[in-house]
Structure 1
Amino acid sequence: MSTVVATHTAIEPNILYFGTPVVLISSSNEDGTPNLAPMSSAFWLGWRAVLGLGVRAKTAQNLLRTGECVLNLPSDALAGAVDRLALTTGSDPVPARKEQRGYGFVPDKFRRAGLTPVPSETVAPPRVAECPVAMETVVERHHPVGDDGGVVAFEVRVQRVWVHDEIRLAGTDDHVDPDAWRPLIMSFQKLYGLTSQVHHSTLARIPERLYRPDGDLERARTA
Structure 2
Amino acid sequence: MDDTLWRSFEHDAVDPRDRYKMMSGAIVPRPIALVTTVAEDGTLNAAPISFFNCLSADPGILALGVETRDDGSIKDTGTNIRLAGEFCVNMVSEAMFEAMRICAQPEAPEVDEIALSGLTPVPSTSIAPPRLAEAPAAFECKRHVTLEISASRQIVLGRVTWMHYREDVIDAEKSYIRQERMNLVGRMSGPSYVRLNDIFTELPDPAPAPGGPRR
User: Could you tell me the TM-score, scaled by structure 1's length?
Assistant: 0.74
Q: What pairs with 1:200-211 in structure 2 (closer than 5 Å)?
A: 200-202=202-204
Task: Describe the shift of the 1:5–1:185 C-alpha distance in structure 2 as closer, same or farther (beyond 3 A).
Answer: farther
Output one character per residue of 1:71-109: Cα deviation in whole Å (capped at 9) or x when no partner.
Answer: 0001122211111223223436xxxxxxxxxxxxxx021
Output one character per residue of 1:172-202: Cα deviation in whole Å (capped at 9) or x when no partner.
Answer: 2622122323221011132221142235344
Structure 1 CA distance, aligned partners of 2:195 and 2:120?
Answer: 22
- Greater shift in the superposed pair: 73-82 or 176-185: 176-185
SS of the residue corresponding to residue 62 of structure 1 reads helix
Q: How many residues align?
A: 183
Tell me, which stretches of 5 or more residues in structure 2 are unaligned?
A: 10-17, 69-73, 206-215
Structure 2 CA distance, aligned partners of 1:75 and 1:6?
Answer: 39
1:27 aligns to 2:16 (yes or no): no
Match of 2:91 among 73, 78, 98: 73
Structure 2 CA distance, aligned partners of 1:199 and 1:122?
Answer: 36
1:84 aligns to 2:83 (yes or no): no
Residue identity (%):
22
Q: CA RMSD in A?
A: 2.2
User: Could you tell me the TM-score, scaled by structure 2's length?
Assistant: 0.77
Match of 2:98, as an amino acid?
Answer: G
Q: What pairs with 1:28-177 in structure 2 (closer than 5 Å)?
A: 28-44=38-54, 45-46=56-57, 47-55=60-68, 56-91=74-109, 107-146=111-150, 149-169=151-171, 172=173, 174-177=175-178
Task: Describe the shift of the 1:142–1:165 C-alpha distance in structure 2 as closer, same or farther (beyond 3 A).
Answer: same
Structure 2 CA distance, aligned partners of 1:73 and 1:188?
Answer: 19
| Contact 1:25–1:70 (8 Å) recurs in 2 | yes
Structure 2 CA distance, aligned partners of 1:90 and 1:158?
Answer: 28
The Cα shift of 1:138 comes to 0.2
Match of 1:135, as an amino acid?
Answer: F
Structure 2 CA distance, aligned partners of 1:25 and 1:90?
Answer: 17
1:180 aligns to 2:181 (yes or no): yes
SS of the residue corresponding to residue 111 of structure 1 reads helix
| Contact 2:90–2:132 (8 Å) recurs in 1 | yes
Tell me, which stretches of 5 or more residues in structure 1 are unaligned?
A: 93-106, 204-223
